[in-house]
Amino acid sequence: MWYSAIKISYLLSLLIVPIIIAQKKNPVSALAWIMATVLLPIVGPILYLIFGTGHIQNRGHQKMFSNARARKTLRKIETGWAASGKPRTEELPHELENIIRLCHRSSLFDAVAGNRVDILVDAEKTYQEMEDAILKADHHINMNFYTFRPDKVGNRFRSLLIKKAKEGVKVHLLYDAVGSLGLSLRHGFLNSLRKNGVCVQEFLPLRIFFMPWYMNLRNHRKVLIVDNKIAFAGSLNIGESFLNTKRRKWRETSVMVQGPAVAQLQWIFCEDWYTAALRMPGNPEYFVPFESMGDHIIQIVASGPDEREDAIRKAFFVAISSAKKSIYLTTPYFIPDEAFYLALQMAAARDVDVRLLVPHKSDHHLVLLAGRSYYDNLLKSGVRIYEFDAGILHAKMLIVDGQLAVIGSANADVRSFRYNFEVNVQVYSEEVAKQAEQVFFADLGKSVELTKSFLKRPARLRFVENVFRLFSPLL
């Protein structure tokens, strides 16, 4: 009897093999999952359903594209503020134009001029800027955060959102089911928002028995949009633990954007809201005409396991591959795929000044161990690696040739490139890139550079790093 049950279970497990072959384009990945299915019947298929699926149908993307009025309004904004149509002291370098063109094709949006950009590196200051913007809201407030914690900081924002909702402002709060698991369990916190007129929605709720792959596909974006005039994006979530205290230091980087590029972040929010709630939050009245707010050219690049698959990865790859002078990359989690890994090494081989800033201590220690397994070849190729030693590094930033600054939610890892919904703000501006470089080098001053002695670390430590590297796509 037991033999028959085991045999039936094994045969049922094998039914998933054709699905793996059909979905996995990478033969190494496909073979690994097939081996897991054969050697671990039942367990292997369950793990594949949770972690192996890397694609989802983005209903919000389709809905926004079907909304002719909203699409026409966005195109009108982009045409009126197209980077190619605004005067500037010199033409954009050919390499930057190629990046703009690629991102337009893979992530929908064109580059637009007339923007103001402020780089924010302190959590408390960023929260204060967000709160000031919320207090000035006249029409709507749209928030989308991977982590929203119902603590002292979360209560501050809850009070503000309720206050504005009572004043007649349309308020929407979107949070990720995994990143904000603590919020999902605080029904009183959520009910108080809903009872006072705030629209609250959970992104891809955990339905392990019906849609287990949702657990692995998360909305990692951190965006606040107010009246389609001002927006915040970057690495900072909502929570007290992200504030700097005497006992705890936390490094984040965000940007405050004012100008036409806000409409692109607005579009992304509307897509995400529709994906979660199956209704639009109120567009096209969310898109309004713009006046110039500054001199900077911005392009919003969004990616995820949907129609924009690999957009951010492609943008990073092209920017790094075309670099001539310098590449400064800050990332809290470094688990590159082979193409990205090779691009960094080849850039260093071309005598490009390649510097990688990563944490010395991490809130995800296993990811840190896996990431260190990649350092050897980078150091050998000439990449300079620094470990931030003044707290937890959570900022994400890329600066190329002193002309392009990228700040957003995406880490330089497989999860951000393939499985998470992410959004980056790409600023094509020497002025902003210089400001970003100042932030980068200030962080280097609080870091320790790894030398060739790192290559001589104990064999047992290398073994542990390589073990976790095997599981890096799941981390």
Residue 213 has pLDDT above 60, yes or no: no
* Residues whose CB falls within 8 Å of the CB of residue 53, separated by 6 or more in sequence, listed in order: 23, 213, 216, 217
The one catalytic residue in 140, 229, 296, 394 is: 394
Question: 227, 272, 295, 443: which is the annotated catalytic residue?
Answer: 227
> pLDDT value at position 375?
95
Task: Write the DSSP string, 414-450.
Answer: HIIIIISBEEEEEEE-HHHHHHHHHHHHHHHTTEEE-
> Which residue matches tokens 């384009």?
25
State pLDDT tens for residues 132-188: 999 999 999 999 999 999 999 999 999 999 999 999 999 999 999 999 998 988 889
Statement: residue 28 has pLDDT above 80: no
Choose the catalytic residue: 306, 337, 396, 413: 396
* Residue percentage of the chain with pLDDT more than 90: 55
Does the active-site annotation cover 394?
A: yes
Find the mean pLDDT for residues 282-296. Answer: 79
Supply the pLDDT for residue 278.
77
Please tell me the least confidently modeled range out of 79-93, 397-411, 419-433: 79-93
Q: Using the Cα atoms of residue 425, residue 428, residue 434 and residue 440 in order, give the sign of their dihedral.
A: positive
Active site residue 110: no
> Is the pLDDT at 292 greater than 70, yes or no?
yes
Which residue in 63, 164, 170, 222 is the catalytic one?
222
Please give the pLDDT value at position 85. Answer: 45
Is 227 noted as a catalytic residue in this protein? Answer: yes
For position 382, what pLDDT does the model report?
Answer: 96
For residues 117 and 296, is the Cβ–Cβ distance under 8 A?
A: yes
Distance CA 126, CA 144 (A): 15
Q: Where in the chain is the domain with CATH 3.30.870.10?
A: 59-84+115-291, 311-474
> Where residue 89 falls among pLDDT bands split at 50, 70, 90?
very low
If you average pLDDT over residues 443-469, what whole number do you get? Answer: 89
Cross-strand partners of 426: 299, 406
Gap between the Cα atoms of 6 and 12, Å rounded = 10
For residue 27, name the pLDDT band (cuts at 50, 70, 90). Answer: low
59-84+115-291 carries CATH number 3.30.870.10: yes
Q: Which one of the listed residues 220, 229, 296, 314 is annotated catalytic?
A: 220
User: DSSP readout, 51-113?
Assistant: II------HHHHHHHH-HHHHHHHHHHHHHTBGGGS--SSPPPHHHHHHHHHHHHHHSPPPEE
Is the pLDDT at 57 greater than 80? The verdict is no
Choosing from 176, 401, 413, 443, the catalytic residue is 401
Q: What is the model's pTM?
A: 0.86
Contact status, residue 334 vs residue 412, Cβ threshold 8 Å:
yes
Residues 6+ apart with CB under 8 A from 368: 333, 358, 359, 361, 362
pLDDT of residue 397: 98
Assess whether pLDDT exceeds 80 at residue 11: no
Question: What CATH class has 311-474?
Answer: alpha beta
Clarify whether 401 is annotated catalytic. yes
Query: How far, in Å, CA of 253 to CA of 120, rounded?
Result: 6
| Mean pLDDT of the residues in the chain | 85
Which residues are registered as beta bridge partners of 238? 148
pLDDT exceeds 50 at position 114: yes
